[in-house]
Amino acid sequence: MTMKASSRQANGVTIVSLCGRITLGEGSVILRDTVKSLSAQGHKKILLDLGDVTYIDSSGIGELVSAFTSVRNSGGELKLLKLTKQVHDLLQVTKLHTIFDIQEDEAAAIAAFAR
């Protein structure tokens, strides 16, 4: 299944909903291009909704890390919302759950940007 990305605004936060697989090739490229484009447009608060991500591999994990560092380096902030079990397991195994701010509730995630 090809990954799809769509974005919307809520209280100054750009919520990017990702659906499908984030793997080497298309999914990773779509994620990279989406975050790059949003950063170029000046979006500083980005919330990646991973609730519909069905599968992720090490390339996809690397792309999440790259998105996190690129947004941070441009003075912004990137958080993750609604991890599936597979994504959660991989972030835990790779200790990246200690790096990302991971939220389960959208309203709480948006509020967390203001803190």
Partner 1 sequence: MNVSKVSYTLESTLESVNRAEQTAAEIAARSGFDKDECGRISLAVREATVNAVLHGNQCDPTKGVTISFENTLDALTILVHDEGSGLDPALVPDPLAPINLLKQSGRGVFIIRAFMDEFRFRTMSPGTEVTMIKFVRGPGSRRQQGGFTSDDESKLTAGERRHHR
Distance CA 24, CA 115 (A): 35
102 binds partner 1 (CB under 8 A): no
CA 73 from centroid of its chain's CA atoms: 16
Beta-sheet strands, E only, within 23-104: 45-56, 77-81, 102-103
One of 93, 107, 108, 111 touching partner 1 (CB under 8 A) = 93
Give 23 or 106: the residue with its C-beta nearer to partner 1.
23
85 binds partner 1 (CB under 8 A): yes
66 binds partner 1 (CB under 8 A): yes
Q: How far is the CB of 98 from partner 1 (least distance, A)?
A: 8
Per-residue contact flags (x/-) with partner 1 for residues 15 to 44, judged by CB under 8 A: --------xxx-------------------
Question: What is the Cα Rg of the chain in Å?
Answer: 13
Per-residue buried b or exposed e for 63-89, using 16+ beta carbons within 10 Å of the residue's own CB: bbeebbeebeeeebebbbbbbeeebee
- Using CB under 8 A, list all residues that contact partner 1: 23-25, 57-59, 61-63, 65-66, 68-69, 85-86, 89-90, 93-96, 99
